[in-house]
Amino acid sequence: MSEKITRRDFLKLTAMGAAATAVMTGCGPMSRYVVRRPYTQMPEYNQTGESTYYASTCRECPAGCGILVRTREGRALTIEGNPNHPVNRGRLCARGLTAQQGLYNPDRVRGPRFQGRGKPTSPPRDLTWEEAVQVVGSALQKPPERIAFLLGLVPDHLFDLVSELTQALGAPPPLRYGALAALDGRTTLLEATRRLFDTPALPYFDLAQAEVTLAFGADFLQAWLSPVTYTRAYGNMRQGNPRRRGELIVFEPRQSLTAGNADRWVPIAPGSEAHVALALGGRVAELRGLPVPEAFRAVSLEEAARVSGIPAAQLEDLAVTFATAERPLALVGGSALTQPNGLVTAQAVLALNALVNNLGQPGGVFLTPAEATPAPLTAVSDLVRRMQAGEIEVLFIHGVNPLFELPAALGFAAALENVPLVISFAPFPDETALQSDYIFPDHSALESFGYQRSLAGADRPAWSASQPVVVPLYNTRATVDVLLAAAQAIGRALPYRDEVDFIQQKILPLLNAGGFYTAPEILTFWSRWLQYGGWWTPAAGLPAPRSPRLPASFGTLTPPPAPAEGQFYLLTYTNHLGDGSGANRPWLQELPDAMTTVTWNTWVEIHPTTAEHLGLKDDDVVRITTPYGAVEASVYRYPAIRPDTIAIPFGQGHTALGRWAEGRGCNPAQILPAATNPAGDPAFIGTTATLMPTGRRRPLARVESKDGVYGEH
């Protein structure tokens, strides 16, 4: 690797951990003395008994919060927020705070290995990195159009390198996919900004200074683009604004954490968000004395009321509240976009902001720096089709777990069988890695260098830096280094010595980009880059979207289908387990779900009256069936969901990923449709589910009952 890592080539005081548990027992002579192995050469930045902090970037979700990792004697202890980082300002969510349980997870892949797809005929065996580089090298020599890279959601240095590599080879560019983006409807949002503002960029909503906020589906407090940024903004919206306490109104069929914190939750019929947004837009334009744009005439208030199940009087009241507010804001995401009408909804809500003139205003809408768009579900299904047709000879997978995250209906599992060579770079033995031919494990996030270019939660142009906070625990190697070595071995070398050299060359333009620090040359810049945990401009400032040219129509509206008798709308959502990659962190499993307080398992949320109608009680196991499959989960009678809707959280139901994740709950991706909306994101509504009691009962470990749920004991 680089100079930087050999400099930190230190030894640990190994006995500390043993001492912690052994000495506590009081002291027999055997436990009284422990051996300490001091550093052979004490690094000058390290003092025995004192903590050393390293600035890095949280990689638990694509938001890219800045972290300070507290280390002592070469061990990562706690993870704290980086107070200067523009995304999170020193704050962190539960996922980032438990990231060291990933680093020290006992189930990590400890070295390169031949996996043999888990077939008994080809038992796994360990390889050396030289063999691994050879395997990757020969894989890169396949016909370029038959090579495919499937990467995770983060726009990081690996994506940039793979983009260059595929370009040099003439292979198709890498795909970036993640369940989080699909469930957020990010491509839909990007397509909407492209159509309205000519720039495909994720919007930044200045929630902190907004006074009346309408949120359509975006669960910004727990999932969505940047939960910590928006939670901080939410706090300031409530109590940090000297003018008035901000008001929040949320349209969602199922009350998410965001809706639970709202002043008003409007239980809108799934799929009718576009109708409501259009009707509200027309009414707001009228109330503000503007000519009603053609696109907003498509739906009348009465029709929206009929489709959405919200009384017309309430819609009128909301329109008045929004139109007369000093600083109104409308934001959209999540379940409002993963619909056949999602693209209309996205455009209508963004245009609603234009109607009240808040583009580029305090409490309004801004655009984050444009990024290379993540792949929508349609691009992945195209890849699956090519895999199925035998057009892919080698598939590289990094940072994503498609066998778990993709809807099973897409047929990825079957298509994988038709790919002769599958190479996974996963640090954990996840479902996809176990079905690969080879696993060449990357370092875990806290052991690796890197950067993240695009930060949806930053109020300014910013890059976030990663650096190793501990020496790699196992025989892992940075994927960038493996790819560089492989490219060199086959005579297609890229002009980079190693990963650090690649990152340094990529951040070179930042020297003159007006950041809050700079340096005359890269090495000084590099040390500050590592010290501050990234680079950003001194003052906040994002471009305002230009005034949109509203089309005559945002698109055709599909009326949401009414579920037949005994059928329910099926929703899935992400809680603190995120896209499921957090399921092997035991403390995330132990953490109660914010709304239901359930731990360690999957539940299905059913409205109490519906449950009563079906004769279901809490903890009854039901079978949830869609045309694509069936899963079983325990009932949680959830008072804040529409009676015609059921919801299952995403993230559990792993068949791999280690001792704490495996065999726990169910994976709703098994029963989701592969249908997409016009932007290419999933379109869930249109698929309905049936519920069938199984007659069994499995109590959920809920924290809401102090005495536990197992009854007398």
Partner 1 sequence: MAEERPAKWGLVVDLDRCTGCNACIAACSMENNVPFVGEDEVAYGRALYWIRTQRYWEGEYPAVTPTFQPVMCQQCGNAPCEPVCPVYASVHSEEEQINLAVYNRCVGTRYCANNCPYFARVFNWFDYELPEPMRSYLNPDVTVRRRGVMEKCTFCVQRIVRGRQKARAEGRELRDGEIQPACVQACPAEALVFGDLSDPESRVSQLARSQRRYHLLEELGTLPRVTYLKGVGNHGG
Partner 2 sequence: MQVKKPWWQSGGVRIALALVLLILFGGAVSGIYLSQIPPEQPIAFPHKTHVALGAQCTYCHPAAAWGPNAGLPGISKCWGCHQQVQKKSPELEKLAGYVQRNEPIPWVPVAIQPDFVKFNHQPHVQAGIACETCHGPVSQMTVALPQPRQNMGWCLDCHQRMRPNDFVRLSDCATCHY
Q: Which does 9 bind (CB under 5 to 8 A by kind): partner 2, partner 1, none?
A: none
Site for partner 1 in 13-52 (CB under 8 A): 16-17, 20-21, 24-25
Site residues for partner 1, 451-480, by CB under 8 A, read 473
Contact between 42 and partner 2 per CB under 8 A: yes
Residue 106, binding choice from partner 1, partner 2, none, Cβ under 5 to 8 Å by partner class: partner 1
Tokens of 23: 């000495």
23 versus 493: smaller Cβ distance to partner 2: 23
7 or 110: CB nearest partner 2: 7
97 vs 350, which CB is nearer to partner 1?
97
257 near partner 1, rule: CB under 8 A: yes
CB 24 → partner 1: shortest distance, Å?
A: 6
Residues 6 or more apart whose CB falls under 8 angstroms from that of 585 comprise 95, 98, 99, 101, 102, 105, 660
Please, which residues bridge with residue 205 across strands?
Answer: 365
Q: Is 49 in the site for partner 2 (CB under 8 A)?
A: yes
Q: Is 566 in the site for partner 2 (CB under 8 A)?
A: no
Structure tokens at 506: 């990529």
CB 387 within 8 A of CB 415: yes
77 close to 90: Cβ distance less than 8 angstroms: no
**Is residue 106 part of the contact set for partner 2 (CB under 8 A)?**
no
For 462, 516, 547, 617, the CA distances from 366, given in Å and listed in that order, are 15, 21, 12, 47
Count of C-beta atoms within a 10 Å radius of residue 710: 9
Rg (CA), the chain: 26
Cβ contacts of 92 within 8 Å, gap of 6 or more: 58, 65, 67, 79, 80, 81, 228
Task: Determine, following the binding rule CB under 8 A, whether residue 34 of this chain makes contact with partner 2.
Answer: yes
Q: SS3 of 708, please?
A: coil
Cβ atoms of 148 and 474 within 8 Å: the answer is no
Residue pair 659/106 in contact by the 8 Å Cβ criterion: yes
Q: Does 587 bind partner 1 (CB under 8 A)?
A: yes
**Residue 36: contacted member of partner 2, partner 1, none (CB under 5 to 8 Å, by partner type):** partner 2
> What does the longest C-alpha to C-alpha distance in the chain come to?
88
Binds partner 2 by CB under 8 A, chosen from 3, 24, 239, 615? 24
Tell me the window of 19-27, 104-112, 570-578, 702-710 that interacts with partner 2 (CB under 8 A).
19-27
- Taking CB under 8 A as the binding criterion, the range among 21-29, 290-298, 333-341, 550-558 that sits at the site for partner 2 is 21-29
Q: Are strands 52-57 and 66-72 parallel, antiparallel or unpaired?
A: antiparallel
By the rule CB under 8 A, 584 interacts with partner 1: no
Pick one of partner 2, partner 1, none as the site partner of residue 40 (Cβ within 5 to 8 A by kind): partner 2
Which of 3, 6, 44, 50 is the binder for partner 2 (CB under 8 A)?
50
Work out whether 17 is an interface residue with partner 2 (CB under 8 A). no
262 binds partner 1 (CB under 8 A): yes
DSSP 304: H
- Residue 570 β-bridge partners: 646
Q: Which of 6, 41, 121, 239 binds partner 2 (CB under 8 A)?
A: 41
* Measured distance CA(244)–CA(247) in Å, rounded: 9
701 in contact with partner 1 (CB under 8 A): yes
Shortest CA distance to 438 belongs to which of 653, 639, 211, 137?
137
Cα 383–chain centre separation: 21
**588 touching partner 1, by CB under 8 A:** yes
Asked if 317 interacts with partner 1 (CB under 8 A), we say: no
Pick what 38 binds: partner 2, partner 1, none; C-beta below 5 to 8 Å, kind-dependent: partner 2
**Site residues, partner 2 (CB under 8 A):** 11, 19-21, 23-24, 26-29, 32-42, 47-50
